[in-house]
Amino acid sequence: MTRAFSDDLRSRVLAASHDGMSARSAAARFGIGVSTAIAWIASARQGQMTPAKQGRRGGSRLDVHEDFIVGMIEEEKDITLNEMVLRLAEERTVSIGRSGLDVWLRKRGWTFKKRPHMHWSKNAPIS
């Protein structure tokens, strides 16, 4: 992933544009992409002089429903992810995939391992 351009470079491009230089000329002069210069100048005209925050937004849309999800697990210990997704869709109108719910649960320390029952003769140590 690349780094963000410095604020100093942004201010120099905006100053050159303010002095009458075109966005394409400013991009060529300062060694940035034409679309970057155009976007910077357009956002400066709208009053936004600083860059927008990068990265994903924090949190999840499931955070609001955490009590409901934990309640489902405590109510029925062997509930499957598919059943949880279905109940979220029906009772809370939350549309999320099984893997998204799994990631959300794992980030909070919930893991589910369903193991088949072992045959009675497998308990003894094998010699």
For residue 4, what are its two tokens? 């963000």
Task: Please give the pLDDT value at position 59.
Answer: 84
pLDDT score of 125 more than 60: no
- pLDDT tens digit string along 28-54? 999 999 999 999 999 999 998 888 787
Task: Please give the pLDDT value at position 55.
Answer: 80
- 4 touches 18 (CB < 8 A): no
Element (H, E) at 36: helix 34-45
Closest CA to 13 of 4, 23, 5, 3: 23
Q: Domain map of the chain by residue range?
A: 7-45, 63-107
Q: What are residue 42's phi and psi, to 5 degrees? A: -65, -40
pLDDT score of 126 more than 60: no
Predicted TM-score (pTM) of the model is: 0.51
For 78, residues 6+ apart whose C-beta sits below 8 A from its C-beta are: 114
pLDDT score of 5 more than 80: yes
Band (113; pLDDT cuts 50, 70, 90): low
Task: Please give the pLDDT value at position 68.
Answer: 95
